[in-house]
Amino acid sequence: MKYLLTHTDRVLDLFLEHLSMTALSLCISLLLAIPIGIAITKYKRLYVPVTGLFGILYTIPSLALFALLIPITGLGPATAIIGLIAYSQMILVRNVAAAIRGIDPLIIEAAKGMGMSKAQIVFQIEIPLAVPVVVAGIRVAAVSIISIATVAAWINAGGLGTLIFEGLYRTHTDKIVAGTIAIAVLAIGTDLLFRAIERLLSPNMS
């Protein structure tokens, strides 16, 4: 706790660095996962190979994946962000697909009966109805990204993991404690934020 109190400015800088890295990774992940999730529900033959691929990526240890990427993208935030995007795809894509599959088929049939096009059904019916379930997946993915991003300090990507690695290398317990507390605050705060959004969007709780 002593380091946290005496070096508040540095901890805050690393906190914001960690937050920006994870937020950017999550945003890019969503831009990829939403269309992929929709595609594998429309073209069912793609579901198993796509989710299987992301499942394999998810099983690779984070340090190993970062090490594989270093010869291609080098040390730094870019490698970390690519790795974080890869890890989050399994959670997000499966969640998007499950959300769309969970929509009552009668609603889709009614929309078709009203003459709505496929694009209109996707953007005006499926996506709005899927949002509450998708947010639940975003919450899980966000907390996962925050956790894995801690390891990214090993490849000079910055963030709160820097404190933990410095503490380990120099046997500086206060740095480890400060980094751990800050990461826990960020993860818990993110979890609570998305839980609140879930409650707001859930028709059962409105």
pLDDT band for 146, please (50, 70, 90 cuts). Answer: very high
Q: Which residue from 149, 170, 147 is spatially nearest to 159, judged by alpha carbons?
A: 149
The pLDDT, as a whole number, for residue 87 is 93
- What are the tens digits of pLDDT across the range 55-89? 999 999 988 999 999 999 999 999 999 999 999 99
- CB contact at 8 A, 87 and 58: yes
Q: From CA 190, how far away is CA 200, in angstroms rounded?
A: 16
| DSSP label of 121 | I
Q: Which residue from 200, 73, 72, 54 is spatially nearest to 139, judged by alpha carbons?
A: 200
The pLDDT, as a whole number, for residue 206 is 44
Task: Give the Å distances, CA to CA, from 162 to 7, 149, 205.
Answer: 14, 10, 40
The structure's pTM equals 0.87
Q: From CA 161, how far away is CA 57, in angstroms rounded?
A: 22
Q: From CA 46, how far away is CA 97, in angstroms rounded?
A: 11
- What are the tens digits of pLDDT across the range 108-119? 888 888 888 878
121-126 average pLDDT score: 82
- Is it the case that residue 92 has pLDDT exceeding 90? yes
- What are the tens digits of pLDDT across the range 158-181? 999 999 999 988 888 899 999 999
Q: From CA 86, how far away is CA 99, in angstroms rounded?
A: 21
